[in-house]
Chain A
Amino acid sequence: MKHKLLPLSETMHYILLALREPLHGYAVMQEIEKISNGAVILAAGTLYGAIENLSKHGWIEPVGNSGRRKIYRITAEGTAILRMEQERLTHILSLYEGSESNEEV
Chain B
Amino acid sequence: MKKFKVFFNIEREEQWLNEQLQKGYRCTNISGLGIYTFQKTDKKYVMRLDYQDYLPKKKLEDYKGIYEDFGWIYINDSWLGGIRYWQKEEDDQNEIFSDRQSKANYYKRLMSYSFWLGMLCLAFSYRPYENSGLYHEGLWSMKGSLLLKAFLFETPFVLLKLAPALLVVFFGISFYKFYRKYSILKEK
Contacts and interface: CB of A to CB of B under 8 A. Distances in A.
Q: What band does the interface of chain B fall in when counting residues whose beta carbon is under 8 Å from A?
A: 20 to 34
Interface in A52-66: none
B72 to A, nearest CB: 6
B90 to A, nearest CB: 14
Contact of A42 (B48, B61, B63, B98): B98
A25 B98 CA distance: 15
Nearest to A25: B66
A49 B69 contact: no
B81 interface: no
Contacts of A49: 102, 105
The 6 closest A-B pairs by CB, nearest first: A45-B96, A26-B69, A43-B98, A46-B102, A44-B70, A44-B67
Interface string A1-29: 00000000111100000000000011001
Nearest to A70: B62
Contacts of A70: 62, 65
Given A11-B101, A25-B69, A46 B96 contact: yes
B97 interface: yes
B61 to A, nearest CB: 7
B131 interface: no
Interface residues of A, number: 21
A46 B70 contact: no
Interface string A63-96: 0000011100000000000000000000000000
A10 B93 CA distance: 19
A41 B97 CA distance: 10
Contacts of A26: 66, 69-70
B130 interface: no
A45 B69 contact: no
B66 A46 contact: no
Contacts of B63: 48
B50 interface: yes
Contact of A44 (B72, B101, B105): B72
A36 B69 CA distance: 20
B36 interface: no
B97 A43 contact: yes
Contact of A43 (B61, B62, B65, B95): B95
B179 interface: no
Nearest to A69: B65
Contacts of B70: 26, 29, 43-44
Given A49-B105, A68-B61, A44 B66 contact: yes
Contact of B98 (A12, A41, A51, A69): A41
B179 to A, nearest CB: 18
